[in-house]
Structure 1
Amino acid sequence: MKNYFQKILALFTGNDYPGSTRQEFYKWLVDEEHVSEKDEALQTLWEEGYKSGTAPNLHQSYELLRRNAGIPSVREKRRIRPIHIWQIAAAVFFIVAAL
């Protein structure tokens, strides 16, 4: 039976299911029936995840999680906001006026 629980957990964690399916899975997971087998399967899954690597700090840990989960990275677009343009213009004006 242990192999059965590991297969269920691996299938669930490796795919994206609709909300109703996730809720049914969570109900099954916290159900009092076969608690020890579920715990062993979760422990095995945890150990496999831990073997995939650890990171020394929070940023690297997030990057490792993102890479393992297949989350694409999004580059932050830098832009100059209009208020910054007015602040720069005001600073230049005061410098020129001071000279």
Structure 2
Amino acid sequence: MTRGRAAVLLGDAALLPRLLDDAALARLRSAVDLRPGVLTPATVRGALDDVDVLLTGWGAPPLDAALLDTAPGCGSSCTPPAPSSGSSPPRCGSAGCA
């Protein structure tokens, strides 16, 4: 079975530790091939052609048609809740990465 490829898209790469701690990143890496680093609005264009799952968060650009056209293999997206929102599960979607 081929492992999926995932990427993290945030408004600012410095936000990653506030959304995903080391344990969460380790669990994520055990399930998928996680693209190194964090994509931002300035770096996302042209960087999603091999991504299956997109993890988004604060400040990420909208997953509009223009962005999704650059991610032909993306089958799902997931947005973790803000830390202040308690224990709500992540908001996830599928079929067209939306």
TM-score normalised by the shorter chain: which range applies? Answer: under 0.3
- Mark the structure with the bigger radius of gyration: 1
* TM-score normalised by the chain length of structure 1: 0.21
Provide TM-score, normalisation by structure 2.
0.21
Structure with the largest fraction of helix: 1
Between Structure 1 and Structure 2, the one with more strand by share is 2
